[in-house]
Amino acid sequence: VQLQASGGGLVQAGASLSLSCAASGRTFGNSVLAWFRQAPGKEQEFVAEVRTDGSTYYTDSVKGRFTISRDNAKNTVYLQMNNLNLEDTAVYYCAAGSLGSTNRYNYVYWGQGTKVTVSS
């Protein structure tokens, strides 16, 4: 089972980026899919999750700017990030699990991470 995250890069503040995470080895249609991030020198934090019914939940700092979505046919989860700011600089990880929530320990499968750097 593998989750492959992509789409990171270097952008200026105010720009947009779209992250993708494609799963292989099993289907995740019945799993909660999420994005976490880890900024330099900080602990990993929850960003957003999308449940099997399509409902979503976001951490407060990204509400209104980020959108998480899933395409079960493609076994892929996306994170559209708009109006990026310096505090969004981090390595972003996708994750999948049956329980979901903001608790990283509820997620069993993890992608390798994709780096997002926002410059001023």
Average pLDDT of the residues in 26-51: 95
Give residue 26's pLDDT.
Answer: 86
Is 35 within 8 Å of 93 (Cβ atoms)?
yes
Contacts for 92 with CB less than 8 Å, ≥ 6 apart: 5, 8, 19, 35, 36, 37, 47, 79, 113, 114, 115, 116
pLDDT at residue 100 tops 90:
no
What's the CA gap between 82 and 4, in Å, rounded? 22
pLDDT at residue 103 tops 90:
yes
Band of pLDDT at residue 27, cut at 50, 70 and 90:
confident
Lowest mean pLDDT among 9-13, 89-93, 100-104, 109-113: 100-104
Residues 30, 32, 33, CA angle at the centre, nearest 5°?
Answer: 120
As a whole-number percent, the residues of the chain with pLDDT over 90 amount to 90
Band of pLDDT at residue 21, cut at 50, 70 and 90:
very high
pLDDT in tens, 39-63: 999 999 999 999 999 999 999 999 9
